[in-house]
Amino acid sequence: MNITIANASHVKYAQVICDTIAESARVRGTGIAKRTPEYIIKRLLNGNAVIALDGDRFAGFCYIEVWGHQKYVANSGLIVHPDYRNQGLAKKIKKAIFDLSRKKFPDAKIFGITTGLAVMKMNYELGYRPVTFSELTDDPEFWKGCQTCKNFDILTRTERRMCLCTGMLYDPEDKSREKEKKIDKKSFERLRSIKETLFLKKKNG
Q: Which pLDDT belongs to residue 26?
A: 75
Cα 168 to chain centroid distance, Å, stands at 9
184 pLDDT more than 60: no
Residue 4 has, within 13 A of its CA and on its CB side, a CA count of 12
CA 67 to chain centre: 14
Local confidence band at 120 (pLDDT 50, 70, 90 cut-offs):
confident
Cβ–Cβ < 8 Å for 161, 134: yes
Say how far apart CA 142 and CA 38 lie, in whole Å: 17
Which CATH number, 3.90.1640.10, 3.40.630.30, 3.30.56.10, 2.30.110.10, labels domain 2-204? 3.40.630.30
In angstroms, rounded to a whole number, what is the distance separating the alpha carbons of residues 50 and 175? 27
DSSP 29: T
- pLDDT of 93-109, one tens digit each? 999 999 999 999 999 99
The pTM of the full predicted model, rounded to 2 decimals, is 0.77
